[in-house]
Amino acid sequence: MPDRPPPNPLVDGFGRVHRDLRISVTDRCNFRCDYCMPAEGMDWLPREELLTFEEITLVARVMVEQFGITSVRLTGGEPTVRARLPLLVASLAGLGVDLSLTTNGATLAGLADDLAAAGLLRINISLDSLRADRFQQLTRRDALAQVLAGVDASVAAGLSPVKVNMVPLRGVNDDELAEFVQFGRERGVEVRFIEFMPLDAQGEWRADRVVTRAEVLAAVGERFEFEPVGRDHEPAERFRLLDGSATFGVVPSVTAPFCGTCDRVRLTSDGMLRNCLFATDDHDLRPVLRGGGSDDDLSAAVAACVAAKREGHGIGAPTFVRPPRPMSRIGG
């Protein structure tokens, strides 16, 4: 085999280098979180429209080899409802990337060991309340015990770090912020508070429901003393308790967006490449993948998508338009 040329950076029109690929493997989910999905009536993508594991791996391989992508995260919908997920994990692990997964955690008690054995390194678990009644109200599922078991199983399987993503909603769960930091300290996980973003296709987002970064820090500060620990390319600002017992993070996507350093590109489960979580258009890779296109054809399509990336998501601007896809069809 001839030596491959070094990868070319995947750069957009504002000089941002993209190193992080988010891959949605399904639009389906076993929860119905009220800020993400309606209780009933979702139209799922036909199976034949979903990318196969081989197609997903092909896209990831080309982006690693030709553009130097270093991080791959699997998302959904809920990725663990995709059958034989550890097979995809093993295939992607062979690319030598920092491989992670975002999940609601409900099935991890029986799956974490298999995912770790297949090559998964890190995991993020979405959890918006530690109170059973409130959890059921938010997710429309009585599954808090299963999620908590999944958190513990992920730690026991050696996935590291295990992060718990919590979206505070004003008047709903914003009285649990310090409780979540304590939970992180007790379970050996890092909690991340994510500002509520306008991604729902059902129109449930309102600015007055956003619990801001400043409010999160004030609420945690009523119980804990902490200090900042820096922020690299990650969207989260990280903080450490002064006693050294835990860290937590805040992702201020709405009030202090990190668009200027964003290095992410997203592949949806039906083969659409998106250059921003809030993009209003898709770049369809299926004609290349299923039409006999070469690696160079695929890389050209990827480069064109990223070149068209906007400077920022524009939340709060009069011209802001929500993406037409619901969050379950974009991926986190």
pLDDT at 201: 42
Low-confidence ranges of the chain (pLDDT < 50): 1-2, 201-203
pLDDT tens per residue, range 138-158? 998 999 999 999 999 999 999
CATH code assigned to 10-329 = 3.20.20.70
pLDDT tens per residue, range 103-123? 999 999 999 999 999 999 999
Q: List the strands of the sheet with 190-194, edge to edge.
A: 226-230, 237-241, 247-251, 190-194, 162-166, 122-126, 98-103, 71-75, 20-24, 264-267, 272-274, 283-284
The interaxial angle of helices 53-67 and 295-307, nearest 10 deg, is: 70
pLDDT at 215: 98
β-strand partners of 193: 166, 250
pLDDT at 202: 43
Both tokens of 263, joined, read 């290095």
pLDDT at 236: 87
